[in-house]
Amino acid sequence: MSPPETPPGITITETPSGARPIAGAPTSIAAFIGLASQGPTDRALLVQSWSDFERQFGGLDPNSYLGYAVGHFFANGGAEAYIVRLATAGAAAVLAGAHLLDAVPIFNLLAVPGEADPGLIAALQAYCAGRKAFLIADSAVDSAFATLQNGPDSRMIGANAINSAFYFPWLNALDAQQNMTRPFPPSGFVAGIYAATDAARGVWRSPAGLRANLTGQSGPVLALTDRQVGVLSAHAVNCIRHIAQFGDVIWGDRTLGGSDQAGSDWKYVSVRRLALYIESSLFTGTQWAVFEPNNAQLWAQLRSSVGAFMQTLFVQGAFQGATPAQAYFVRCDTENNPQSSIDQGVVNIQVGFAPLHPAEFVVIQIQQLAGQSGGNGDTRR
């Protein structure tokens, strides 16, 4: 007689927990659009290194900023990029090229190196909004403080501006193809810094400041004063400047919808990109709920899964607040799922979070005590 599987008097029952883990979506897969000397023009191709790009698209082409920007991306911390090679130049070709990304499962960052046309940037902002992606926009090569002190062109600051950021000025860097130093658009450098910051510190941290120091350049084409940086920042222009002992750094974390005048909830790049990350992760991570019975049991499972994902972010330091209740909430119950929604086959999940806001300005107050008499003058409490 075979032995019993468990000792007498002990019964083991396996009960599903109901929780379904949600994996975090990627945050720093870039997409670059531009001209190249070779490669397909009918699809976007993924490259994972500079040598990959050289093999597929021919490396540097002095007539295009694409190869240089991709090189700057990898040199500054980028790891994956989809490349869309255009057959011809022009806004129509760029928009058609952008739609080749429709076949790509996910990308997070979009750059068209050197492109500064406001109307085209507005169209790319709208495309990014539909893909839960973020546009890194270049200023024009000949932009000066005087042309931007009242803010970017109004066409770039519409409803979709929160899914984009604008960088100024261009950067001097070596053109290895022509063995000379010349200006290059900042978008490739910036995309690499985004990727490096995400990997080292999290998508909720600002890709700016003394840790956002650039590699592969020899200084911005314009040296900006503190006053100029302050003026431009208020108008949602992210500056690149040289800081002694730290080199060239990104000195701004504003979305194009983040001017002081706009007063947007999505003022900061780090806050907006965290929201996009949460949206993408939850959208993919809750697909199992499709066609499940829309009832209290499903709502409890969704609260459990989404709550576990948000708790992980809280533990990692992605939110403000000392406790989970102060940092985030997840709502999926009868309150936001009335019978009318159930009848339509809709389940509503409401998620809120308290974002970390960067300290853009550090104010130091110095007070001098004068006219003290008696004792040693120590007035500390």
At 363 the pLDDT is 72
Examine residue 358 and state whether it is found in any structural domain, yes or no.
Answer: no
Among the candidates 246, 271, 296, a domain finishes at: 271
Helix axis angle, 66-75 relative to 187-201, nearest 10°? 20
The CA distance from 129 to 118, in Å, is 16
Average pLDDT of the chain, as a whole number:
92
Nearest to 185 by CA among 96, 66, 104: 66
199 and 338 fall within a common domain: no
Residue length of the chain: 381
Residue 374, pLDDT score: 52
What pLDDT is attached to residue 367?
Answer: 82
Residue 115 buriedness (CB in 10 A; 0-12 / 13-18 / 19+): buried
Integer Cα distance of 82 and 48 in angstroms: 9
Per the CB < 8 A criterion, the answer to whether 113 and 34 are in contact is: yes
d(CA 155, CA 189) in angstroms, rounded, equals: 25
> Do 167 and 203 lie in a common domain?
yes
How many distinct structural domains can be found in the chain?
2
> Is the separation of the CB atoms in 265 and 163 below 8 Å?
no
Task: Give bridge partners of residue 352 from the DSSP assignment.
Answer: 329
Task: Indicate whether 316 and 250 sit together in one domain.
Answer: no
Strand spans (E) along 124-195: 134-138, 164-168, 171-175, 180-184
Rounded Cα gap, residues 258 and 292, in angstroms: 40
Classify 183 as helix, strand or coil: strand
- 248 in the same domain as 166: yes
For the chain, give me the number of helices (H) and strands (E)?
Answer: 11, 12
**CA–CA gap between residue 310 and residue 328 (Å, rounded):** 7
Whose structure tokens read 């400047």? 241
Residue 379 lies in a domain: no
Domain boundary among 211, 246, 271: 271
Which range of residues forms the domain containing residue 141? Answer: 30-271
Q: Which residues of the chain register pLDDT less than 70?
A: 1-19, 371-381
* Residue whose token pair is 């053109």: 175
| Last residue of one domain, picked from the residues 243, 271, 299 | 271
Q: Are residues 290 and 193 in the same domain?
A: no
- Is 37 found in the same domain as 164? yes
Q: DSSP letter string over 208-235?
A: -STT-B-SS---BSSPPPHHHHHHHHHT
Say whether both 239 and 192 belong to one domain: yes
∠ at Cα 338 (336, 342), nearest 5°?
A: 110
**For residue 379, what pLDDT is reported?**
42
Same domain, yes or no: 56 and 204: yes
Round to whole Å and give the CA distance between 352 and 331: 9
> Which one-letter amino acid corresponds to residue 128?
C
Can you give the pLDDT at residue 372? Answer: 59
Residue 46 lies in a domain: yes
Task: Tell me what pLDDT residue 122 has.
Answer: 98
Question: Do 152 and 104 fall within a single domain?
Answer: yes
With beta carbons less than 8 A apart as the criterion, state whether 117 and 138 touch.
no
Non-local CB neighbours of 353 within 8 Å, separated by 6+ positions:
274, 278, 310, 313, 318, 319, 327, 328
Closest among 51, 321, 21, 80 to 199, alpha carbons compared: 80
